[in-house]
Amino acid sequence: MKQKVLENVRDLISLFKDGQKILVGGFGISGTPLTIIDLIAESGVKGLHIVSNNLGDYGMGLHQLFIRGQIEKAIGSFFTINREAVVAWSKGELLIDLLPQGTLAEAIRCGGAGIGGFYTKTAVGTELAKGKEERVIDGERYIFEKAIKGDIAIIRAKKADKLGNLIYHMTARNFNPMMATAANIVIAEVDEIVDVGEMDPEQIVTPHVYVDYIIQTAYKKEGDQYVKQ
């Protein structure tokens, strides 16, 4: 059995390089691999293309990479809450690719499923359809959206077994299962690691085939926030 569980998160640092496209799980701060993001901040790699719904919360998660100037381009659905990102974008310091949330999710799913892209009715006739191929299927207008794949995906799950099977925690699941399928290297940050055989096969959401590395999170929930231990 390949040793996927790493004792020290720092063993992963050499995986991160300038200019990579990194898929990052999470919706707001929920379901975000905070420990791995801290590592990327520490690594100092630059020019990153980040695929994630938004850029974290103030001072946490991807917001850290943003304030350190490590992000060249953000691909996601909702950056309005990241005010500094909006300012940086208007000054030309940050590139943004805005996609409807469902299109973002489906593009990543396709990326992981070997599909080059898909036609969707979402955004037809809007500003977000500009420059995109349109075709009529059964009398309805659709636009083409290209699949998204990453060099690395960093995801957050509740529990892993040592093979890399994963289950998630409530709405912290969000983009994580698709991202687990859509990158060359997949790193899962989890609350709990158990022996193989201890998870119910009927309940596994992400099968181990997708997961390359597993680390224990350094964060703990306290009330309505995550706190570093």
Partner 1 sequence: MLNNDVRYKIAERIAQELEDGQVVNLGVGIPTLVNAFIENKEVYLQAENGLLGIGPPPTIDQLDIDLINASKEPVTITKGASFFSSADSFAMIRGGHVDVAVLGILQVDTKGQIANWAVPNQPILGVGGAMDLVVGAKKVIGAATLFTKDGTSKIVKKLTYPISGIRSIDLLVTDYAVFSFESGEIHVNEILVDMPIEQLSEKLGITLKWREPVD
Among 59, 114, 131, 223, binds partner 1 (CB under 8 A): 223
Nearest Cα to Cα of residue 31 among 180, 199, 170: 170
Q: How far apart are CA 161 and CA 186, in angstroms?
A: 15
CB of residue 3 to partner 1, shortest distance in Å? 28
Q: Name residues contacting partner 1, limited to 116-175 (CB under 8 A).
A: 120-128, 141, 168-175
Q: Is 210 in the site for partner 1 (CB under 8 A)?
A: no
3-state secondary structure (DSSP) of residue 210: helix
Among 31, 33, 56, 150, binds partner 1 (CB under 8 A): 31
Q: Is 105 in the site for partner 1 (CB under 8 A)?
A: yes
CB of residue 101 to partner 1, shortest distance in Å? 4
Are 214 and 4 within 8 A, CB to CB?
A: yes
Q: Name residues contacting partner 1, limited to 40-59 (CB under 8 A).
A: 53
Measured from the CB atom, the residue of 65 and 104 that comes closer to partner 1 is 104
User: Which range, of 14-22, 62-70, 96-104, 131-139, touches partner 1 by CB under 8 A?
Assistant: 96-104
Q: How far apart are CA 137 and CA 120, in angstroms?
A: 10
Burial of 177-205, coded b for 16+ CB within 10 Å and e otherwise, reads: bbbbbbbebbbbbbeebeeeeebeeeebe
Measured from the CB atom, the residue of 195 and 222 that comes closer to partner 1 is 222
Secondary element (H or E) of residue 214 = strand 213-216
Among 81, 95, 115, 209, binds partner 1 (CB under 8 A): 81
Secondary element (H or E) of residue 88 = helix 83-90
Query: By the criterion CB under 8 A, which residues form the site for partner 1?
Result: 27-31, 53, 77-81, 85-86, 89-90, 96, 98-106, 108-109, 120-128, 141, 168-178, 205, 221, 223-226
